[in-house]
Amino acid sequence: MDKLCVLFGCEILKIIPGRVSTEVDARLSFNKEASIEKARQLIKLYEEEGIHKDRILIKLASTWEGIQAAKVLEEKYQIHCNMTLLFNFAQAVACAEAGVTLISPFVGRILDWYVANTDKKSFEPKEDPGVISVTKIYNYYKKFDYKTVVMGASFRNVGEIKCLAGCDLLTISPKLLQELANSNDEIRPYLIPETGM
C-alpha cells in the first residue's frame, strides 16, 4: 500500500510545482517510534523514484505521539511534516513548538461538531467555530513569529474560505473552487500576516 501511495504522489508531482502530502497510516497515530519509521520508509520509497524529500510532506495525526514524531523527523532527518486531525489551539501550539513545517486545521469538521452537539445549527461565516479556531491559530503564529505554515482545510462552504482569505495556504475542494470561480464577489485578504489579524 505504501508503494501505491508513493506512486500516486509521484504522478501528482509531475503536474504540480510544489509538494505532495503522503500520510502515515492512522493506526500508528499513538506510536511515536512506528510513525517515525513509517515516515522514513515513505521518504525512502520516494527517493527510489527520484523524488527529493523536500517535495514531500509526511502527514501525521496531531496526537501527542504524532507531534513528537514530527519533531524528530523535522530536527533529526530534515523530513517536512504536515500535521492533520488538528481540531484545537493546544494542538496547534504544540505543533509550532515542535517546529513542524505545516498544520492542516479542519475548519468544516469543527463546524460539524458544533452543529451536531449544540442547539445552534447554522453559523454566519465570521461566527463559524472552525473559522474562529483557524483565525486564532493564525494570529498566534504570526504574533509570536512561528514559522509553521497554517493551511486551512476541510471547508464546508465558500463563506469559510472567504473569511480565511490571506491564510498561509488553503486546501479547497474542486466543487468549492468552481463556486468561487463562478462568483463575481471580490475576495480580499481577511487575515493579514504582518499584524496577525
Per-residue pLDDT band for 193 (boundaries 50, 70, 90) equals confident
Three-state DSSP at 36 gives helix
Marked catalytic residue, from 38, 59, 71, 142: 59
Residue 83 CA to residue 103 CA, distance in Å, equals: 5
Query: What DSSP line would sit under 79-135, residue for residue?
Result: --EEEEEE-SHHHHHHHHHHT-SEEEEBHHHHHHHHHHHSS-----GGG-HHHHHHH
**Is pLDDT at 194 greater than 70 in this prediction?**
no
Instruction: Dump pLDDT digits (tens) for 116-163.
Output: 999 999 999 999 999 999 999 999 999 999 999 999 999 999 999 999
Instruction: Dump pLDDT digits (tens) for 24-52.
Output: 999 999 999 999 999 999 999 999 999 99
pLDDT of residue 74: 99
59 catalytic residue (yes or no): yes
Instruction: Dump pLDDT digits (tens) for 61-117.
Output: 999 999 999 999 999 999 999 999 999 999 999 999 999 999 999 999 999 999 999
Three-state DSSP at 24 gives coil
